[in-house]
């Protein structure tokens, strides 16, 4: 009778443990809801435009190259440096000011933690109007790509990690309220990506010159802007929160599905991380361009093969003192290659902290993690890292 008794006791203990874990998760969820329901007291808010100029050479003399910025300052400011949030491709600042299912966004989370927050619309995007495509043509809508990469990658399995996606609110299909809200928020991007990099670099530099030192929180496409911004204003960029930054270095990746999964896009990024100039030592010139070599095999079968500089590698001297956090979710297409960006930075003398969300118990997220069901848990990880990276802040 002893063995059945022990087995029964183990069963009871496992059940009790599960109940305790479930109760703890429920308490955390209740605490998060309660925090969002408490009044968010704002001392000051407003908007302005930075960068750009009136171009009299174009029909109607439009303003071009300008960025829209809205800001909020909490009543209790607990940190000396504000957070500037720069969205990714086909998006606007609404990525950070709410979620498709009606919850508060990352902007409110950082405000509640005592940060002043600046949320931008990129140049020629959203409220930074582009008159008659003054900056060139824009991309077309692409419902299929949005479903494949952002909302429901698990239905398409174009990369090895896609099947892990579970965190999108709702069914992830047209007709679902959360899907329709998100799809309605999409906005055309400039077709010329190198031009986007130059325009947004210059506008964001103008923003920092106006507001002073800040933390930059970027996502996806704007990862191609953050390195040039920090390169131009290293003293004003106090830290970088790089949420799945544009990458990987040298060549973007085209996703094909099993069994081959990955192919290198033929376009070569002249400055490794980006198409626009970065300050390397020794300098990159037309006569002495960057060179790249591809690793013989990937670190893991579900990873891409990274590109790197041949040794001795040139150094990104203006980025080496900036605290950087690279955040990657479990199910995003970035899960297959963000390690390449981290390696490239390290080889160029730039230290960063690489955070795979799955390693800290945050599972099931895709690329649009700031809109997903557990978005507050991800924001908490970033804020906690900032508290450590900027002591006294």
Catalytic residues: 220
Measure Cα distances from 136 to 133, 140, 214 in Å: 5, 13, 31
Task: Map residue 293 onto helix, strand or coil.
Answer: strand
Q: Could you tell me which residues come within 8 angstroms of residue 331 by beta carbon, excluding any fewer than 6 positions away?
A: 153, 154, 161, 162, 163, 164, 165, 166, 167, 364, 365, 366
Rounded to an integer, what distance in angstroms lies between the CA atom of residue 243 and that of residue 222? 9
Helix (H) or strand (E) holding 281: strand 280-281
Rounded to an integer, what distance in angstroms lies between the CA atom of residue 239 and that of residue 16? 43
Rounded to an integer, what distance in angstroms lies between the CA atom of residue 16 and that of residue 8? 12
Task: Map residue 138 onto helix, strand or coil.
Answer: strand
Label the pairing between strands 324-328 and 307-308.
Answer: unpaired
Rounded to an integer, what distance in angstroms lies between the CA atom of residue 21 and that of residue 23? 5
Place of tokens 């183990």: 10
* CB atoms inside a 10 Å sphere around CB 149: 23
Quote the distance between the C-alpha of residue 296 and its chain's center.
Answer: 29
Q: 220-251: string of b/e by CB count within 10 Å (b at 16+)?
A: bbbbbbbbbbbbbbbebbbbbbbbbbbbbbbb
């Amino acid at each position: 009778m002893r063995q059945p008794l022990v087995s029964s006791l183990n069963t009871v203990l496992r059940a009790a443990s599960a109940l305790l874990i479930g109760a703890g998760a429920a308490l955390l969820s209740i605490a998060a809801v309660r925090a969002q329901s408490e009044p968010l007291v704002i001392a000051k808010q407003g908007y302005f435009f930075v960068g750009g100029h009136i171009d009299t050479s174009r029909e109607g003399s439009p303003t071009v190259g300008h960025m829209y910025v809205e800001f909020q300052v909490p009543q209790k400011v607990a940190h000396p440096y504000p957070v500037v949030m720069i969205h990714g491709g086909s998006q606007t600042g609404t990525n950070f000011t709410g979620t498709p299912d009606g919850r508060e966004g990352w902007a409110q989370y950082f405000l509640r933690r005592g940060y002043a927050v600046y949320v931008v619309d990129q140049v020629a995007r959203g409220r930074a109007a582009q008159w008659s495509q003054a900056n060139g043509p824009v991309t077309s809508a692409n419902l299929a790509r949005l479903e494949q990469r952002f909302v429901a990658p698990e239905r398409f399995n174009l990369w090895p990690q896609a099947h892990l996606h579970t965190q999108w609110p709702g069914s992830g299909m047209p007709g679902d309220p959360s899907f329709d809200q998100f799809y309605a928020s999409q906005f055309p991007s400039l077709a010329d990506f190198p031009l986007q990099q130059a325009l947004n670099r210059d506008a964001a530099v103008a923003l920092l010159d106006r507001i002073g030192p800040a933390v930059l929180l970027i996502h996806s496409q704007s990862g191609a802007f953050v390195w040039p911004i920090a390169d131009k204003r290293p003293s004003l960029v106090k830290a970088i929160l790089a949420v799945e930054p544009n990458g990987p270095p040298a060549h973007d990746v085209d996703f094909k599905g099993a069994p081959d999964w990955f192919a290198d896009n033929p376009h070569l990024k002249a400055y490794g991380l980006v198409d626009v100039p970065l300050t390397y030592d020794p300098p990159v010139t037309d006569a002495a361009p960057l060179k790249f070599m591809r690793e013989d095999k990937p670190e893991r079968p579900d990873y891409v093969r990274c590109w790197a500089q041949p040794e001795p590698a040139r150094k990104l001297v203006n980025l080496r003192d900036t605290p950087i956090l690279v955040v990657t979710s479990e199910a995003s297409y970035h899960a297959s290659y963000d390690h390449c960006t981290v390696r490239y930075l390290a080889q160029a003398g730039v230290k960063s902290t690489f955070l795979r969300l799955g390693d800290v118990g945050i599972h099931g997220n895709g690329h649009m993690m700031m809109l997903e069901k557990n978005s507050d848990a991800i924001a908490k990880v970033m804020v906690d890292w900032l508290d450590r990276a900027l002591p006294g802040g």
